[in-house]
Amino acid sequence: MPGPGVGTLYSMSTLVTGATGIVGSRVLTQLRSRGLSATGASRTSTTRLDWTDTSNWDEILDGVENVFVVTPPGKALGNRVAGFLERAAKAGAANAVVLTDMGTEHAPADSDQRAAELQAKDLFDRWTVLRSNWLFQDFTEGMFATMARSRNGRLELPVKKKTGISFVDARDVADAAVAALLGDHGGRDYTLTGPQTLTFREVVKQTRGTESPVWKFKSLDRGSFHSRAADRGMSDRYVGSLSERFAAADAGRAAEVTEGVYEALRREPIPLARFVREAVL
C-alpha cells in the first residue's frame, strides 16, 4: 500500500503515548522538530492519558490520524491498551505504531502487550509493531539508573554474569517509530536490537563515568531481588514480570542481534561506544 503524500503528512495529527518516557519523549521531540502536529499524552503530560481511566479517551483521540502506543509491561492493565487502539480506530485513526518488548510474539494472546499488537494488526489499515530489547538509556535515565541510585551505584539484578543482551539505543527505537508514523512501514514487525551482544558487566564497565549512576553490577538470586524490589515499593506483579524478563535473558532469548534497525531505517544501529561518547557528564 503506498504511503501518504508529503502534503498529507504535514497536516496529520499524531498522538504519542508514553510521552514522558525514554522512547516517547524522543518520538515527540522528533515529530515536533519536523514541524508536525503531535500531542504527547501520559498521566503527567498536559494531555492526560491514564491506561486505567477510559473517561477522556474519546476526547484525546478526536481528530487523531496516527497513534504511537507504548505498552507498559507487568502492570496487568487488562488489555486496556488494546481497548485504546479499538477506540482510536473507531475515532478514525488510520495508522498505529505499537511498541512492545522483544519476544512478545511468543506471549499469550491475552497478555497486555501481545493483545495490543494483535489489535493493531486487526483494526488498522496501516500498522507497525516494534519490539525493542533493553535500552542503553535504562542505565542513564531509566529503571537501572533508579535502582543503582538507591544502592550506592550498585545495580543488582537476577541475571547471570554471563548473560548476553543485545541492548539497543532508544534513539534507534524512536527513529524507527517516527519512520513508521511518517512513512510506509505498514504491515511489518521489527525486532530492534543493538549491533552487539553484551553482558551487564560489560555495559557497566563502559558507561561508568558517564551520566550513568551505575558503578557496579551484581548478580542476585530471584528471592533477594524480589524482597529488595518489594522494599522499594514495586508491586508483586511488576517484580514478577521483571523476573520473567530476566529469566528469558538468562535463557538466551535477549541475546540475538537482529537486522531490525537496519530494515526499518536503512542504517546500522548505534553501538554502545557511540552511546558512551555522547553520554559523558
User: Using CB under 6 A as the criterion, which residues of the chain lie in contact with ligand NAP when the complex forms?
Assistant: 18-24, 42-45, 49-52, 70-73, 99-101, 132, 134-135, 138, 142
CA dihedral 27, 18, 208, 281 (to 10 degrees): 60
Given the complex with ligand NAP, which of 124 and 136 has the nearer CB atom?
Answer: 136
Query: Residue 11 Cβ, how far from ligand NAP at the closest point, in Å?
Result: 26
Q: Which three cell numbers stand for residue 39?
A: 500531542
Using an 8 Å Cβ cutoff, are 127 and 120 in contact? yes
| 90: CB partners within 8 A, 6+ apart | none
Q: Which three cell numbers stand for residue 256?
A: 540475538
Closest CA to 97 of 30, 154, 151: 30
Query: Residue 2 Cβ, how far from ligand NAP at the closest point, in Å?
Result: 29
Query: Residue 95 Cβ, how far from ligand NAP at the closest point, in Å?
Result: 18
Strand, coil or helix: 259: coil
Query: Residue 98 Cβ, how far from ligand NAP at the closest point, in Å?
Result: 9
Length of the chain: 281
Query: Residue 15 Cβ, how far from ligand NAP at the closest point, in Å?
Result: 12
Closest CA to 94 of 14, 26, 6: 14
Q: Identify the residue whose cell numbers are 550498585.
A: 154
Query: Residue 1 Cβ, how far from ligand NAP at the closest point, in Å?
Result: 26
Using an 8 Å Cβ cutoff, are 126 and 89 in contact? no
Q: Which three cell numbers stand for residue 240?
A: 514478577
Given the complex with ligand NAP, which of 9 and 27 has the nearer CB atom?
Answer: 27
Given the complex with ligand NAP, which of 77 and 89 has the nearer CB atom?
Answer: 77
Given the complex with ligand NAP, which of 66 and 191 has the nearer CB atom?
Answer: 191
Strand, coil or helix: 113: helix
Q: Provide the 10 A C-beta neighbour count for residue 231.
A: 9
Query: Residue 142 Cβ, how far from ligand NAP at the closest point, in Å?
Result: 5
Query: Residue 134 Cβ, how far from ligand NAP at the closest point, in Å?
Result: 4
Using an 8 Å Cβ cutoff, are 28 and 16 in contact? yes
Strand partners, 155: 217
Given the complex with ligand NAP, which of 22 and 157 has the nearer CB atom?
Answer: 22
Given the complex with ligand NAP, which of 8 and 146 has the nearer CB atom?
Answer: 146
Q: Provide the 10 A C-beta neighbour count for residue 213.
A: 21
Residue nearest to ligand NAP (CB): 21
Closest CA to 84 of 109, 108, 52: 52
Given the complex with ligand NAP, which of 72 and 153 has the nearer CB atom?
Answer: 72
Given the complex with ligand NAP, which of 65 and 138 has the nearer CB atom?
Answer: 138
